[in-house]
A = this chain, B = another copy of it.
Amino acid sequence: MKTRIKAFFDSLQPLPDTEWKAFESCFERMTFQKEEELLSEGRACDFIGFIESGVIRFFQVKDGTEKVTAFWFSGDFLSNYRSFLSGQASDHYIQALTDGSYYRLKREALLKLYDQFPLIDRLGRLMAERLYLMVTNRLDNLLSQTPEERYMQLQSKNSKLLQEIPQYMVASYLGISPESLSRIRKRLSTR
């Protein structure tokens, strides 16, 4: 499996050979095409994954308009983890913005691994904890910053995102209308 993904898990909890082999062998490599839906609203998400290549967005449809919750790139965690954990139907879509590929681990296989290997159970704890940190970061960000501040932060920390993603999707991710983002950009450029 891709070294990047191994690095992710190693940073959480290095696994001895036996565990790693068992763990790794449960991943399947999947490919996707631009526009493809990896998960539809209404279905429970029964996998987690890690992107090898390509760009993916995580969004929901609210009152007829699309609200983007996240963009994912190579190396990123890929799942509706909430639906994955709760078993409830997803309120989000997962959709490819480009062609690409990812490594998929099905829920059932992961639960078996948790039961078989305490160290993988611990890895699961550390993964949940890491994801908790990520989502609280985003929450904090939304609570404490204005759209303009969020855009500036995106520019400085994640400029790759701005280059690869249409602006109206970025606007949605920032929680504003495309027109507002356009205004913000204009405001910033004339300073």
List the interface of chain A (C-beta within 8 A of B).
Answer: 60, 62, 67, 69, 81-82, 85-86, 91, 114, 118, 121-122, 124-125, 128-129, 131-133, 135-136, 138-140, 142-144, 175
Q: B128 and A69: CB pair below 8 A?
A: no
Q: Which of B122, B133, B142 contacts A82 (CB 8 A)?
A: B133
Distance of A132 Cα from B128 Cα, bound (Å): 7
User: Roughly how many angstroms separate A114 CA and B124 CA in the complex, as a whole number?
Assistant: 13
Classify the secondary structure of A's interface with B: helix
* CB-nearest residue of chain B to A92: B140
| Chain B residues closer than 8 Å to A122, beta-carbon distance | 114, 121, 125
When chains A and B are docked, how far (Å) is the Cα of A56 from the Cα of B133? 22
Q: Are A85 and B142 in contact (CB under 8 A)?
A: no
CA distance A128 to B86 in the complex (A): 13
Name the one of B69, B81, B124, B175 contacting A125, with C-beta atoms under 8 angstroms: B124
